Structure 1
């Protein structure tokens, strides 16, 4: 007879096995839900120049990750937290670099960073040449911001790694100068209408993955 007793009624071994499997699966699902929440419910912080992508753009960029990343590749998201959940769903080795401490809820997948510290000695050296794909969305459309983002990106990406920047068309000269990225056809959209026209820049044929 089984040792599991429910209000005085003993379960058969077969029923006990089914129940134990159910409880084990439930525990795993609850753990995954805690680690990788399925809903992105964070409000934009305009002081940090945060603007979330539209559902369509999130779908397209996460699809790019799913197609372009090999199983063992490491993917870094720089200052684009609205991509994290969908990208994580299609590629397990995805982490987010963010200044906003709210995203500490993603625990081991969260890296606190400040692009203003880019030139500090040994800054982010633990991630040197660690990522096969880097997706970045610099928060400010300034030369200083892009120069520091470029420095960090070149530090953490592998020598032959893929880079995709999502930003305003007005910064094309900075992107070309500091990272030698080419303007692409795909144009990301946001949940809000922003004053600048946005596009993508990459060092690979990223447009083929958006088709």
Structure 2
């Protein structure tokens, strides 16, 4: 399923703070991720269904999971869909605990409470050398980076990636990541 097909089939639910990425951004993100993840890596997309759809449309790989509250997305791939509830941040499948090599995270609400809950989930999921890509609003970024360091022991650096949403948002978004040279991720030439 392409991102355009996804957007037509599943409308954004603003009550769940769903704001889809543009098809171009989802494709670019997938293209940027592909060379830095191995075929054996376990990937999760937390609250970022358009990023998941864009990646799977381009690469259709196993061990790639969507953790999302909205159960409509189970229709995309029931085996890779994991119902995720912020109110139960540690309730994740046993087979993913401590095994996730790369997590793409876009918390649904731009506040510290949500950031802390998602960071708890990331801590539960991440493998010892796991990497995180956080896509979030610039208004919460400093606090979120501090929370991820405190809760999940993940040091995040701002990347060069420009985040684009389909409908445009009033909030400016950016991307922060946890691997060496992460600040180059999304720059021209990468």
- Judge same fold: TM > 0.5, yes or no: yes
Ranges in structure 1 where 5+ consecutive residues have no aligned partner = 1-36
Matches within 5 A, 1:27-176: 37-38=1-2, 39-40=5-6, 41=8, 42-88=10-56, 89-90=58-59, 92=61, 93-105=63-75, 106-118=77-89, 123-124=91-92, 126=94, 127-176=96-145
| Cα offset, 1:91, TM superposition | 5.2
| Cα offset, 1:142, TM superposition | 0.5
Moved over 6 A (4+): none
Residues in 1 aligned to 2:185 and 2:143: alpha-carbon distance in whole angstroms: 24
| Cα offset, 1:207, TM superposition | 4.8
Ranges in structure 2 where 5+ consecutive residues have no aligned partner = 149-154
Q: Are the counterparts in 2 of residues 172 and 183 from structure 1 also a CA contact under 8 Å? A: no
1:190 corresponds to which of 165, 175, 182 = 165
Residues in 2 aligned to 1:56 and 1:141: alpha-carbon distance in whole angstroms: 23
The structure whose Rg is larger is 1
Q: Are the counterparts in 2 of residues 65 and 90 from structure 1 also a CA contact under 8 Å? A: no
Q: Are the counterparts in 2 of residues 66 and 91 from structure 1 also a CA contact under 8 Å? A: no
TM-score (norm 2): 0.84
TM-score (norm 1): 0.76
Structure with more helix by fraction: 1
